[in-house]
Amino acid sequence: MPETKERKTFYCSKCNKTMDEKQFYRSNNLEKYPYGVLNQCKKCITMHVNNWEPETYLWILQEADVPYIPDEWDSLMRSYAKDRSKVTGMTIIGRYLSKMQLKQFKDFRWKDTEFLQDMKNKKIEETMKK
């Protein structure tokens, strides 16, 4: 008989429900979130996210301990937010958090946000000088 992988469940501190781990965003901040998931479910944590207003979602990126890379966010917005009426708070943030797990980003954290922006700016300056 094949071995089944046991699914973990977590408790949402906002809606007071226990749900499957897939209903929660991951966090790299293991000091604050030892199980590697945020303490609110995806639906609750994105309830007030406006994808066009960074102040409504930057705190989530900070809690997930991933860097904010405006170009990457904007790229996802161009791809998925063509029809504003179909975009929810979860639409971009979920894709962004997944993208931050890719090889080129996975070693960066929230504290690297400014460093990554500085690197991008230096690259632009160098290109312009050429």
Q: Identify the pLDDT of residue 67.
A: 97
What pLDDT, in 10s, does the model give residues 29-86?
999 999 999 999 999 999 999 999 999 999 999 999 999 999 999 999 998 888 777 7
Token pair for residue 33? Answer: 């979130």
Q: Identify the pLDDT of residue 80.
A: 87
How many other CB atoms sit within 10 Å of the CB of residue 87?
A: 17
Token pair for residue 92? Answer: 């971009």
Q: Identify the pLDDT of residue 4.
A: 55
Under 8 Å CB-to-CB from 97, ≥6 apart: which residues? 25, 26, 61, 64, 66
What pLDDT, in 10s, does the model give residues 75-127?
999 988 887 777 888 889 999 999 999 999 999 999 999 999 888 878 776 77
Boundaries of every domain in the chain: 9-116
Query: pTM, whole model, 2 decimals?
Result: 0.86
